[in-house]
Amino acid sequence: MTTRLTVPTAHPYDVVIGNGVQDQLRGLVGEDVLRVAIIHAPSMRHQAEILRRPLVADQLDVHLIEVPDSEQAKTADVLTFCWKVLGESGFTRSDVIVGLGGGATTDLAGFVAASWLRGVRFVNVPTTVLGMVDAAVGGKTGINTAQGKNLVGAFHEPVGVLCDLDVLQTLPPAEMRSGLAEVAKCGFIADRSILELIEAAPETIADPGSSIVAELITKGIAVKARTVATDLHETGADGSIGREALNYGHTLGHAIERFEGYRIRHGEAIAIGMVFVAELAHRTGSIDKHLLDRHRSVLEIIGLPTAYRPGTWEPLLASMRLDKKTRGDQLRFVVLEGLEEPAILAGPDESVLLDSYRAIS
């Protein structure tokens, strides 16, 4: 069964979820296109060639741009390399970029599209759970710097997203678990039925072909689509928390990723970050012990870490001060005031932060 979700922003686009939906790429590319660049990681070389063949058969000039795996792709050097290929290939504003791979690849591909000629069309074809529920939807694109993750980027929406569930069959179990961290996040901030599904059927979490996993992915994407539709540029202009809610667990999580040199998976770091902010919310009186404990139990069902090694607080704190939510010298965290009730906690006392960190280390 195929599900089609519309992201109702100023320039609406569809997210198609199902088996075999990569076949719909030609329709998303459009009729006025001469050139297509498929940006992919080495592990996606064969899949990129599969996508390329029908486009070439339709007389399109298709370029495969291979970039490093994971976060190593999100650098200025790799970005410059992609620009070089586009320039040498004569890419114009009517041509199309395709991002094929996990979240890091689609982040990079989107920023390539946003920056080339001040913006060309692009299609996301995510191949991981993380890519499907997080990076591929919402128009956030970017690269990392030595100082932090996603500090350079742009908001640039795709013209469509194809989430082909068939590709999950070859995904390593650890990558499945990592992606499900973002799904669980959506459960805590916006849709409790996600948590109930995980708790009711823990034995299905490891099976990428299960109907429960497909439903979890669809629910996670639906949360992301609803959230970005009301606050695409993360301004919170209507007075609500808006898109910042999607950063739940990410302030500490991104700091851990950077501290680990991106050797830890994104979802593993975010899982730890969610438990940290749950501890923080509990200590500041926002949530009760039951909801705090539920964070650990849900994430442990998935098989994700809920604690981090001690003795790393000072470098993590320094890294968090560069987080995008920080204003001036004031740290800001997305916390819960109850299940499905995200809010911003600004400037918490550093002793409370340290106590919360000690509770997870």
Handedness of CA 129, 161, 143, 9 (dihedral sign): negative
pLDDT greater than 80 at residue 239? no
The top-level CATH class assigned to 173-359 is mainly alpha
Q: What is the mean pLDDT of residues 223-240?
A: 82
Q: Tell me which DSSP letter residue 131 carries.
A: I
Closest C-alpha to 102, from 35, 12, 42: 42
Q: What is the mean pLDDT of residues 328-350?
A: 93
Q: Tell me which DSSP letter residue 132 carries.
A: I
Residues with Cβ within 8 Å of 40's Cβ and at least 6 positions away in sequence, in order, are: 47, 48, 64, 65, 66, 67, 100, 101, 105
pLDDT of residue 136: 83
pLDDT of residue 307: 98
Establish whether 11 is an annotated binding residue: no
Establish whether 182 is an annotated binding residue: yes
Establish whether 312 is an annotated binding residue: no
Q: Please name the residue ranges forming H helices in 201-342.
A: 211-230, 250-259, 266-283, 289-302, 313-320
Establish whether 230 is an annotated binding residue: no
Helix or strand holding residue 141 (H, E): strand 140-145
Establish whether 149 is an annotated binding residue: yes
Cβ–Cβ < 8 Å for 126, 134: no
Closest C-alpha to 99, from 54, 143, 162: 162
pLDDT of residue 10: 85
Establish whether 104 is an annotated binding residue: yes
Cβ–Cβ < 8 Å for 247, 182: no
Establish whether 2 is an annotated binding residue: no
Pick the CATH number of 3-170 from 3.40.50.1970, 3.40.50.11610, 3.40.50.20, 3.40.190.10: 3.40.50.1970
Provide the residue ranges of all domains of the chain, joining segments of one domain with +. 3-170, 173-359
pLDDT in tens, 98-144: 999 999 999 999 999 999 999 999 999 999 999 999 878 888 999 99
β partners of residue 3: 17
pLDDT of residue 76: 96
The amino acid sitting at 317 is L
229 confidence band (pLDDT: 50, 70, 90)? confident
pLDDT of residue 267: 96
pLDDT over 90, % of the chain: 85
β partners of residue 345: 333
Q: Which residues of 302-340 are buried (b: 16+ CB within 10 A; e: fewer)?
A: bbbbbebeeeeeeebbebbeebbbeeeeebbbbbbeebe
pLDDT greater than 70 at residue 330? yes
Grouping H, G, I as helix, E, B as strand and the rest as coil, residue 206 is coil
pLDDT of residue 62: 97
How confident is the prediction for the chain on average, in pLDDT?
94
Residues with Cβ within 8 Å of 286's Cβ and at least 6 positions away in sequence, in order, are: 335, 336, 337, 338, 343, 345
pLDDT of residue 237: 64
pLDDT in tens, 122-134: 999 999 999 999 8
82/145 Cα distance (integer angstroms) = 17
211-215, 272-276, 320-324: segment of lowest average pLDDT = 320-324
pLDDT greater than 70 at residue 328? no
Phi, psi (rounded to 5 degrees) for 37: -115, 125
pLDDT in tens, 30-63: 888 999 999 999 999 999 999 999 999 999 999 9
- In the sheet that 61-66 helps form, which strands lie side by side, from edge to edge? 3-7, 13-18, 160-164, 121-126, 96-101, 35-40, 61-66
356/361 Cα distance (integer angstroms) = 9
pLDDT in tens, 193-222: 999 999 998 988 889 989 999 999 999 999
Q: Pick the more confident residue, 175 or 135.
A: 175
Establish whether 107 is an annotated binding residue: yes
pTM over 0.85: yes
pLDDT of residue 323: 74
